[in-house]
């Protein structure tokens, strides 16, 4: 198994939040943290054009500042900081993360559009990364709202449950000593909502029972594999994305899947549920690639 976690930093508040969250996670895993900055043309905006050597000096200082900030709160954690380049930022970050357990990104970086919750580089990295990639909001702090750790929430497609996604969620819940909430959103038959018609109660309960059973079947065997992780099965009416966003308001982590598929730079895809959750969930979002 990979022996470190990777966090990308660029001097923004979002990336510093990502570095701090990654440090917490590295401590849970018992592995070092690697902080990297993928040098881009944006770095040139902050330097004297007549002194190109300043680019490396400023980015190196930024990395050192981020490393010190994390060390202040994680004095026992091994932390490495590195400036990387040699290509487009997305390519560089995807390649750098190939041997990491996890890649952690900030929700927006320098140069991002104000109206977007996730920058284009972040979305492209998530679409291509072969390791679980976590997106952190600026100012993300401890989300504990009561006794114990905040829940880990995982989205479950009952028709085609992804083992890699569920396993990742269970492992993260186990490391935190947290409850795992397995969320399945389902859409009623179209006739339910047609012209205001409402299904009779017995029929409505029958549909609910079917969806509950499908979720139970999708989770079969996992409780035996992780007996110390309490599980809440949460089947609710609505789209998968809406169900997850609603369920993770106070979560410590929400986990979604991204199907591996041939990618083209003109049309990188992460799937509609993952895309919606990335833009609307307030909790950290882990996107796990699966076949």
Q: Kindly indicate whether the domain formed by 144-291 is annotated with CATH number 3.40.50.620.
A: yes
The whole-chain average pLDDT of the chain stands at 84
Q: Is residue 129 exposed (0-12), middle (13-18) or buried (19+ Cβ within 10 Å)?
A: buried
Domain coordinates of the chain in residue numbers?
5-141, 144-291
Distance CA(140)–CA(132), nearest Å, equals 19
Name the token pair of 38: 């993928």
pTM of the model: 0.87
Residues of the chain with pLDDT under 70: 1, 40-56, 108-119, 138-148, 190-204, 262-268
Q: Does an H or E element contain 6, and which?
A: strand 5-8
Pick the CATH number of 5-141 from 3.40.1410.10, 3.40.50.620, 3.90.1170.50, 2.60.120.260: 3.40.50.620
Q: What is the DSSP letter of 61?
A: H
């Amino acid at each position: 198994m990979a022996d470190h976690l990777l966090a990308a930093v660029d001097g923004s508040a979002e990336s510093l939040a990502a570095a701090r969250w990654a440090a917490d996670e590295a401590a849970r895993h018992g592995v070092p943290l690697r902080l990297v900055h993928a040098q881009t043309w944006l770095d040139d905006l902050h330097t004297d054009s007549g002194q190109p050597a300043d680019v490396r000096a400023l980015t190196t200082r930024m990395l050192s500042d981020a490393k010190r900030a994390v060390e202040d709160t994680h004095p026992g954690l091994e932390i490495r900081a590195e400036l990387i380049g040699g290509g487009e930022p997305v390519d560089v970050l995807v390649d750098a993360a190939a041997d990491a357990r996890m890649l952690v990104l900030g929700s927006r970086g320098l140069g991002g559009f104000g109206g977007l919750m996730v920058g284009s580089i972040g979305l492209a990295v998530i679409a291509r990364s072969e390791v679980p990639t976590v997106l952190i909001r600026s100012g993300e702090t401890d989300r504990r709202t009561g006794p114990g750790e905040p829940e880990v929430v995982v989205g479950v497609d009952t028709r085609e449950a992804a083992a890699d996604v569920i396993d990742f969620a269970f492992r993260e819940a186990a490391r935190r000593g947290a409850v795992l909430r397995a969320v399945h959103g389902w859409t009623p038959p179209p006739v339910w909502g047609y012209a205001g018609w409402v299904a009779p109660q017995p029929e409505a309960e029958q549909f609910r029972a079917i969806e509950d059973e499908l979720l139970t079947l999708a989770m079969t065997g996992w409780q035996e594999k992780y007996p110390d992780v309490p599980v809440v099965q949460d089947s609710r009416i609505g789209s998968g994305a809406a169900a997850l966003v609603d369920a993770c308001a106070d979560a410590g982590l929400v986990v979604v899947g991204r199907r591996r598929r041939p990618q083209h730079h003109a049309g990188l895809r992460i799937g509609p549920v993952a895309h919606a959750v990335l833009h609307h969930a307030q909790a950290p979002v882990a996107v796990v690639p699966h076949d």
